[in-house]
Amino acid sequence: MLFKKPQVAFYPFMVLRDDEKCIRCKSCVDQCSFDATYYDKDLDKILNHNENCVNCKRCEAFCPTDAIKVVKNPSTFHPDANWTEEAIRDIHTEMLTGAVILTSTGNDKPIKNYFDHLLLDACQVTNPPIDPLREPMELKTFIGRKTDKVEFEEDGVTIKTKIGKQLELEIPVMFSAMSYGSINLNLQKAMARAAKEFGTFWNTGEGGLHKSLRDYKDCTVVQVASGRFGVDLEYLENSAAIEIKIGQGAKPGIGGHLPGEKVNEGIAETRMIPVGADAISPAPHHDIYSIEDLRQLIYALKEATNYEKPVFVKIAAVHNVAAIACGIAHAGADAIVIDGVRGGTGATPKSLRDHVGIPIELAIAAVDDRLRKEGLRNEVSLIAAGGFRSAVDVLKAIALGADAVYIGTVAKLAAGCTQCQQCHTGRCAWGITTNDPKLAKRLNPDIVAENLYNILRAWAHDIKELLGAMGINAIESIKGNRLRLRSWGLTEQENKILGVLPAGM
């Protein structure tokens, strides 16, 4: 038998502290929420429990003398392409807990990122580019059911066609669903403020809408998931749109579980459950087993809100995503949200996060194609989610056929997240995915709202620059325009699915 547990003996990260530089201020001790560092009075030294270090880097950021560096443990296992360090550590964890390995964030495996294999076009000589600093550029995007044709009154000017309620976005980017409970209220406040100021939308996730956020109803998408947390008429009315969550990219096919110990008074009140009760979202909606059942829920929500709110349906990108999306369009949804295999989460079994689903790039192309073939493309907007990193990813997604995208990880990064993959522990040192009041205070919603606004502003500029180079002055003109994309390093089959030509053709 091992002398020490393997987790203690073979830790992945270590805290290196330069004792000469350290002034014993104990800042790192106070900041570490994983007990990886402590002060030894007798030795007058700061020491480490390296086995607890998760590489969140909070101590590095707060050390006033730059005495700390968190590094990967140089002592590695024997190199083995089959028995990788990760495979060995997973066995060690299972051996200790006898449970499914939980994790968080998005898939961290090197699954091919098709955005990195797509190149955008630019104008030269015969088709002039547009200077976005001199010419008006339009990023305005409308989400909702469109009409196939527009009819006019007899005067030939007044539009006769009635069009359903649309969401109006100043940039085709929204903040994706992250529930109160999985993240703390301060991040929701920051997203709501940034969305309102910029002219876009944020999404409550499945944890209800805290009463302090009702002022943001005009930029709020409220979610209705299988647990129905916080759902009543008032909740539905305090929104601009309603999203039925069927699945999410980080855990397709399973539900969610917010442990009772995290359900404090605010979360309990917002979710409409008792304090300390486990908040369990079942894997299926127990009233949805067919497209007809889904249609009933869509129309129940529309009826309840007087047909004033577009209804989205969110699914994970799975193998037959195009057929499912068509069913959702037939069921009467105003928008389909598809979350790809790189989508993030606050907690999920590692096996599901890393091995279930398909990349969002392939899903967008497949769904857009199928909706067009079935004559349904106008009936429904397509919103893509799952690992968007930049304005370039957004533009490529729109060229592939999406109307808009959701971003979640970017919002967490704007709040200080270092992608340490510990959200599920509830001990986020940056105060993001925790409801510990002491840790939650670390997230200042005013600063994060400004960071988020700046990211949207930067992306809007970037998209305009790219569109200008393509000689396009409105985002609408690049939507589904795959002729302005070329691929590199992809197979014939991959190009066929994406509907793009290889570079050089």
- Say if residues 325 and 338 touch (Cβ distance below 8 Å): yes
User: Please, which residue, 293 or 436, has the CB nearer to ligand SF4?
Assistant: 436
- H helices of 51-198, in order, are 58-62, 85-97, 185-198
User: Please, which residue, 108 or 237, has the CB nearer to ligand SF4?
Assistant: 108
- Say if residues 347 and 421 touch (Cβ distance below 8 Å): no
Which DSSP category does 474 fall into?
B
Shortest distance, CB of residue 418 to ligand SF4, whole angstroms?
5
- Strand 404-407 relative to strand 381-385, pairing: parallel
User: Please, which residue, 65 or 477, has the CB nearer to ligand SF4?
Assistant: 65
Cα–Cα distances (Å) from 75 to 79, 85, 100, in that order, read 11, 11, 27
User: Please, which residue, 25 or 503, has the CB nearer to ligand SF4?
Assistant: 25
Shortest distance, CB of residue 56 to ligand SF4, whole angstroms?
5
User: Please, which residue, 54 or 485, has the CB nearer to ligand SF4?
Assistant: 54
Q: Find, among 344, 380, 385, the residue nearest to 364 by Cα.
A: 385
- Say if residues 420 and 412 touch (Cβ distance below 8 Å): no
Shortest distance, CB of residue 128 to ligand SF4, whole angstroms?
44
What phi, psi does 50 have (nearest 5°)?
A: -60, -30
Mapping DSSP onto H, E and C, the string for 192-242 reads HHHHHHHCCCEECHHHCCCHHHHHHHHHEEEEECCCCCCCCHHHHHCCCEE
Contact residues: ligand SF4, CB under 6 A: 17, 22-28, 46, 56, 62-65, 67-68, 104-105, 412, 417-423, 428, 430, 432-433
Q: Find, among 18, 46, 51, the residue nearest to 34 by Cα.
A: 51
Shortest distance, CB of residue 205 to ligand SF4, whole angstroms?
14
Shortest distance, CB of residue 429 to ligand SF4, whole angstroms?
6
Shortest distance, CB of residue 68 to ligand SF4, whole angstroms?
5
User: Please, which residue, 23 or 300, has the CB nearer to ligand SF4?
Assistant: 23
User: Please, which residue, 36 or 174, has the CB nearer to ligand SF4?
Assistant: 36
Expressed in angstroms, the distance from the first to the final Cα of the chain is 62
d(CA 63, CA 67): 7
User: Please, which residue, 65 or 147, has the CB nearer to ligand SF4?
Assistant: 65
Shortest distance, CB of residue 44 to ligand SF4, whole angstroms?
11
Shortest distance, CB of residue 309 to ligand SF4, whole angstroms?
30
Element spanning 484, H or E: none
| The two three-digit tokens of residue 157, written as one number | 């000017």
Shortest distance, CB of residue 446 to ligand SF4, whole angstroms?
19
User: Please, which residue, 119 or 413, has the CB nearer to ligand SF4?
Assistant: 413
Residue appearing with tokens 């403020």:
193
Residues ≥6 apart with Cβ < 8 Å to 155: none
